[in-house]
Structure 1
Amino acid sequence: MAYLHARGVKGYVALNVLIFDEELEALEQRIREIAAAGVDALIVQDLGAVELIRRVAPGLPIHGSTQMSITSAQGAQFAAGLGVERIVVGRELSIKEIAKVREQSTTEVEAFVHGALCVSYSGQCFSSEAWGGRSANRGQCAQACRLPYGLIVDGMLKDLQDISYLLSPQDLMAVSHVPELINSGVGCFKIEGRLKGPEYVALTTQVYRRAVDAAWAALTDGDDGSSSSRRSTPATTTSSSVPDDGSLAAAKASVALTQQEQWDLEQVFARGQDADFNGLTPGFLEGPMHQRLVRGRAPKHRGVYAGTVVRILQHSQQQHNNQQQQQQWQ
């Protein structure tokens, strides 16, 4: 934590799993160690853990994990009553629904803007546990949703051609929606990065940092966000400061991806499907669009769509084989 704080970076500890009774004593000791280390916040799922943290380390900020499945203002207020300062809203919400949560509650709101999506409600999926005995609510999701499945209609297996991954959503990419999310009152953006490499972390953070700064400047008449005013989003300030349609349109134009940024994001990680679907979607931010969200052709990273192999020339194939043999001999 000292390393992070010396560089102006906050550090959170993820405790977004369910806790068993026999683990509570060890958890209490761990909470004390976390607080002593100067951690900026704990990200929590288990409500019992929230109560324990408040008792053991009352000054330690608590963030409600997306695993809490908070999808309404009522849920946000319930969490706030327990001492949760910030909630990560469910990835199943639209921008309008997120704005409603922020407007009708007193908690800070954090929202996902990039990365993998769960086919179930976050924190409520038991497919991994049922399929392989690995609980998604204990940080052990086996991603049963990424496996191939068949579709049975009226007792008959339906021929779906090359569509086999019926439960595997494409990933979220919300760069174009950054201005609307800021305007809705979202105070923090979350980029999913589980099992991703450092190049993914660096690239996605760079893209969204540029988008946030550009959108903020457009929404606040040129404020570059360097002042403390960024702590209050346009949607949470006085009505006179809420941006008009022109400012919002300018903000959306300012965050448009360059061709290089688009390629980079697809190349670093995208569950590309075909020529029309690069594997990156707005998720549920625009509302439910299931046919776009789940295409079913590929469950994992495929990179940039380059084209379709029509045929392989025999001469080229022979050259390839020769090169492979030479490499083996070396």
Structure 2
Amino acid sequence: MAYVYGRVGQPYGSLSASLSYPPMLDLPMQGVKGYVALNVLIFDEELEALEQRIREIAAAGVDALIVQDLGAVELIRRVAPGLPIHGSTQMSITSAQGAQFAAGLGVERIVVGRELSIKEIAKVREQSTTEVEAFVHGALCVSYSGQCFSSEAWGGRSANRGQCAQACRLPYGLIVDGMLKDLQDISYLLSPQDLMAVSHVPELINSGVGCFKIEGRLKGPEYVALTTQVYRRAVDAAWAALTDGDDGSSSSRRSTPATTTSSSVPDDGSLAAAKASVALTQQEQWDLEQVFARGQDADFNGLTPGFLEGPMHQRLVRGRAPKHRGVYAGTVVRILQHSQQQHNNQQQQQQWQ
């Protein structure tokens, strides 16, 4: 597990002269790595301040920097050559060629775009030398990662500066042949549902993915605890099934089954067993839906496999709600007049008190 922290959306020039990273003091004792997110575009006037930040980050013992700007990659290599660099999903790397280009600059790991299927992720890993990290849970962007400019255009808040205003979560109308189409209760046409890939953990491991990423912007500690617990169990169970009972220790997970010798690549039977081993319990399913899922309704729990199974746009965007609504409890069929009057009387009494 890795703890990612940073100063999102704040210009480097406005930061104090000295930064400290107190979490780094405790993380090694917890068996956790600490990464700093620098996954924004850098302006020329910020380069001097950025260089100072890089020196401080390296001195603090941070395990890696997550970077978007290619110029920042070059600066890190010059200022702190021993500091590992991970290519952010904001780099929009969706091919092996893109991965190799990043590797040539000194990037050790790439976070592939959330727009890729498992088969496409496998090709990136097979045809490149970089480590591959992939998103498995959380919010999805309606645009290619790092390529949305609506927030900047409409409100001056750049998604490439950590300030996305999430214009995709607003209601829109659909105009067809010059006429506004009546979509009933469907208004959020650009708001994708959230990603949940627990059932695909075995296939992702087998495709060569070496690290899973859980999106957690503006999420609470209960979300972090629950999602990491669920995926930790899934990874350990899948690994044991794919490697014929391996204990799943961190040392044995340095290479995935798909990147070791050909004789160790799991057969269809072990892959099926691995998929069965990661099946969610009913309680886990409810907990994930309750802690955060987007736009639930009577027919849908708000969580999808995203693009991992390929593009399925009608399933990805339902358009009825852009936010978390909780677990579906039921439908109000009718309100009895007597009950409504009692409710109104109780409200009036509370106001008088």
Native 8 Å contact 1:273 1:295 kept in 2: no
> Does the C-alpha gap of structure 1 residues 39 and 326 become closer, same or farther in structure 2, counting only changes over 3 Å?
farther
Alpha-carbon distance in 2 for matches of 1:145, 1:105? 33
Cα deviations by residue, 1:229-256 (Å, 9 ceiling, x for unpaired): 2100000000100000000000000000
Change in Cα spacing, 1:91 to 1:4, as seen in structure 2 (3 Å) is closer
Alignment of 1:79-90 (within 5 A): 79-90=102-113
Deviation string 1:289-310 (CA, Å, 9 cap, x unpaired) is 0000001111000111112111
Q: Which residue of 2 aligns with 1:177?
A: 200
Aligned to 2:138: 115
SS for the counterpart of 2:77 is: helix
Aligned to 1:260: 283
Cα distance in 1, alignment partners of residues 257 and 351 from structure 2:
62
Q: Deviations over 1:158-214 (max 9, x none)?
A: 111111000000000000000000000000000000000001000101110110010
Aligned residues: 330
User: Deviations for 1:39-64, whole angstroms, at most 9, x for unmatched residues?
Assistant: 00000000000000000000000000
| Residue of structure 2 aligned with 1:234, choices 253, 257, 262 | 257
Aligned 8 A contact 1:269 1:301 in 2: yes
> TM-score, normalized by length of structure 1?
0.96
What are the ranges of 5 or more consecutive residues in structure 2 without an aligned counterpart? 8-30
Aligned counterparts of 2:187 and 2:91: Cα–Cα separation in 1: 31
Normalised TM-score (structure 2)? 0.90
Distance (Å, rounded) in 1 between the aligned partners of 2:250 and 2:69: 35
Q: How far apart are the structure 2 equivalents of 1:48 and 1:123?
A: 16
Aligned residue number for residue 338 of structure 2: 315
- For 2:214 and 2:259, the matched residues in 1 are separated by 23
Going from structure 1 to structure 2, the CA distance change for 1:171 and 1:227 (only over 3 Å counts) comes to closer
- Equivalent in the alignment of 2:4: 4
Conserved? CA contact 1:14–1:42, under 8 Å: yes
Q: Cα distance, 1:326 vs. partner?
A: 5.1
Cα distance change of structure 1 residues 67 and 152 upon mapping to structure 2, 3 Å threshold: same
Cα distance change on mapping 1:253 and 1:48 into 2, 3 Å: same
Counterpart CA distance in 2 for 1:67 and 1:152 is: 31
Cα pair 1:272 1:304 within 8 Å, conserved: no
Deviation larger for 163-172 or 306-315: 306-315
Classify the secondary structure of the residue corresponding to 2:310. Answer: coil
Cα deviation, residue 319, structure 1: 3.6
With over 3 angstroms needed to count, the CA separation of the structure-2 counterparts of 1:26 and 1:192, relative to structure 1, is same
- In the TM superposition, what whole-angstrom CA distance separates every residue of 1:46-92 from its partner, at most 9, and x where no partner exists? 00000000000000000000000000000000000000000000000
Tell me if the contact between 1:218 and 1:248 (Cα under 8 Å) persists in the aligned partners: yes
Q: Distance in 1 between matches of 2:329 and 2:2?
A: 45
Aligned to 1:306, the other structure's residue is in SS state coil
Contact preservation (8 Å) 1:91, 1:122: yes
Matched residue, 2:327: 304
State how far apart, in whole Å, the 1-side matches of 2:83 and 2:126 are: 25
CA contact (8 A) 1:272 1:305 kept: no
1:227–1:14 Cα change, 3 Å = closer
Shift of residue 17, structure 1, vs aligned partner? 0.3
Q: Tell me the CA shift for residue 327 of structure 1.
A: 4.8
TM-superposed deviation, 1:274? 2.3
CA distance in 2, matches of 1:327, 1:41: 56
SS in 2 for 1:4: strand
Residue range with higher mean Cα deviation, 120-129 or 304-313: 304-313
SS at match of 2:33: coil
How far is the alpha carbon of 1:316 from its aligned partner?
2.8
- Cα RMSD after superposing both structures: 2.6
- With over 3 angstroms needed to count, the CA separation of the structure-2 counterparts of 1:203 and 1:245, relative to structure 1, is same
Structure 2 contact 296–326 (Cα < 8 Å) conserved: no
Distance 2:5 2:172 in 1: 47
- The structure-2 alpha-carbon separation of the partners of 1:215 and 1:167, relative to structure 1 and needing over 3 Å to count, comes to same
Any idea what the Cα deviations from partners look like across 1:259-282, whole Å, max 9, x if unmatched? 111111001111134222111000
Aligned-residue offset at 1:321: 3.6
Shift of 1:114: 0.2
Instruction: Report sequence identity in percent.
Output: 99
| Counterpart Cα distance in 1 of 2:308 and 2:3 | 36
Distance in 2 between residues matched to 1:118 and 1:77, nearest whole Å: 25
Q: Relative to 1, partners in 2 of residues 1:6 and 1:66: Cα closer, same or farther, differing over 3 Å?
A: closer
